[in-house]
Amino acid sequence: MPIDLVHMDKTTYEAMCAALCAAEFDAIHIEANPGDGGIDSFEGSLLEEVNHIWQYKHFPDGIGESQKSQIRESLKTAIKNYHPKEWTLLIPCDLDQSAQKWFEKQRVEFAKQCTEVNCMGATELSNLIRRHKTIRQDYFPTTDNQVKILTSMLGGRDAVFENPKSKALDLMSASAEYINDDPDWDYRFSWQDDVQTVEAVLANPNAKDKTAAQFELTLPNNATGKKVRQDWIDMQKKGTPFSVDGKHVRIKKSVFDGLVGEGFTLTKMQMIPAIPDRRLPMRLTFTSGAGNSATLRLVDLRLKRQGSDEALFTNEDQNSVLIVSLTMNSAGGAIHFKTRDYVGRTPTEAALCEDVLAVIAEGDVRLEMEHIESGLHLGAAVLNDLKGGLSADRELHPFFKSLATIERSLDPTLRVPESYHDRDVPAAERLAKILTDGELTAQGSTNLTLNVGDADGARKSLAQNEPVEFPLDESTEEVKLLGKTYVFDTTTSIMAPLVLVDTTAEELVDGASFTVRQEGLVTRKYTHGRVATESPE
């Protein structure tokens, strides 16, 4: 819940500051009798050396000229009496820009007297209060009371269960956020029938107390007890989650205290070890015994679990098509692969995965592993025993590669479809070839009628039988694929020797017309490819 320091009375505020300094800094509080001599709490010895002094000032309305005068007077008195190495002011408000500049000037001035001057405002004090649960509950409404209030607002516990699940979930999540404004833990709620699940997730890896619960386990001497013990060992050594029936658990103290009301019975306790944020970006190269290879240029492995003896890195949560799991332990390690459905994926992803699977299917595969950030070669493995049905689809592999070319070169929105027609396979192949080569060629023939401008030159060219290129037409061509229409501008030409039809070279004269036949290579060049409108199937 929001921490309101501004409306605290002076006596309560000073008592809370004393408790905070004692809990956070092991500071000793000095009772004013009649004055405090410039010291409220301190660390060190009043007879020998005072290392740190904390001074509380109840200035809820900010720092004006009167407050500045009081702060300087307290600071001067503390330095005169004890000459501390550090002096910290505690106030229930944050400094505005003007007050901050003034305070920084004091810091510079008194640093010349070998005293470091600091200020803890409302933000810093609120964070300390959240860190110390006992103090938070002593000086602010307890979570248990708030839960009871919220429950009563809905008509009691029975009424809560009668509400739609979504409403109850929204209420509990909102109330947890409101009540437990704790920088170290996040709380989540869920319901299933009459079972309430409360999760506490460590949000601050630098928290002073990372203990979620203190508890005792009472286990039977049978197979169930043996399994629980083994699960506990696995959690320690492998970092796997630990789960136990609530009837075997006695909670002494936990971060859930006050969140679960009376009348609830613990049905299950689960512990999931916190995972450090560690990445292992890898480049994997697969080479078959036949010499074919495929490379995954970036496999973004993240730490999934870690125990004292074993760690697991995987890209499973990165939504990759090819899931790679690397287990490392004292005995060495193991690597496992699994694929996801291609539907809705980019063709480039699917084609690359199929490239790897095609190499794996050839057998005797050697895997080279390289750490991308350092460039270090992390080792090699021979993949002899692959399980899980990893195999390339020989029919779809070229289809995916064609779609990948189209995606990269023309249509970045293209995705692997849930279904396709037989005609889509040759259409994709044709379209990919157009995009790769820029033209299509085929043997063909045509008849042309020409006018003689230079009869002697024409007869000479015909005698040499040299290929001549003639443009045939300029147009557009459409290629339909997966419900889309792709359009190109085209220019068609033919390159072949000229063969006279119905006339001889000797009959050619200037200004006359004659017919020739060309049989040779017809080339159609494609430019300005674009996606037209989507057409219904």
Cα 25–chain centre separation: 37
H/E element, 200: strand 195-202
Say which residue, 88 or 200, is predicted with more confidence.
Answer: 88
- Whose tokens are 């991308």? That residue is 372
Q: How confident is the model at residue 387 (pLDDT cuts 50, 70, 90)?
A: very low
The one-character DSSP state at 221 is S
H/E element, 441: strand 439-451
> Structure tokens of 471?
């443009």
Q: Mean pLDDT over residues 518-528, rounded? A: 90
What is the model's pLDDT at position 333? 79
Residue 371 zone, left/alpha/beta (φ > 0; ψ -120 to 50; rest): beta
Distance CA 126, CA 13 (A): 12
List where CATH 3.40.1350 sits in the chain. Answer: 10-137
pLDDT at 170 > cutoff 60: no
Distance CA 54, CA 76 (A): 13
Task: Compute and round to an integer the Cα radius of gyration of the chain.
Answer: 40
Distance CA 396, CA 443 (A): 29
What is the model's pLDDT at position 537? 47
pLDDT at 105 > cutoff 70: yes
The one-character DSSP state at 305 is E
H/E element, 44: strand 41-44
Per-residue pLDDT tens over the stretch 6-26: 888 999 999 999 999 999 999
CATH 1.10.8 fits 10-137, yes or no: no
CB 360 within 8 A of CB 352: no
Distance CA 496, CA 519 (A): 6
For the beta carbon of residue 72, count every other beta carbon within 10 angstroms: 14
What is the model's pLDDT at position 388? 44
What is the model's pLDDT at position 466? 79
Closest to 412 measured CA to CA, from 403, 401, 420: 403
Q: SS3 of 232, please?
A: helix
**Whether this model's pTM surpasses 0.75:** no
Per-residue pLDDT tens over the stretch 275-294: 888 999 999 999 998 999 99
What is the model's pLDDT at position 57? 94
- Whose tokens are 């601050």? That residue is 204
What is the model's pLDDT at position 148? 56
Q: How confident is the model at residue 481 (pLDDT cuts 50, 70, 90)?
A: very high
> Structure tokens of 172?
């509990």
What is the model's pLDDT at position 211? 85
Strands 50-56 and 86-90: parallel
CB 399 within 8 A of CB 474: no
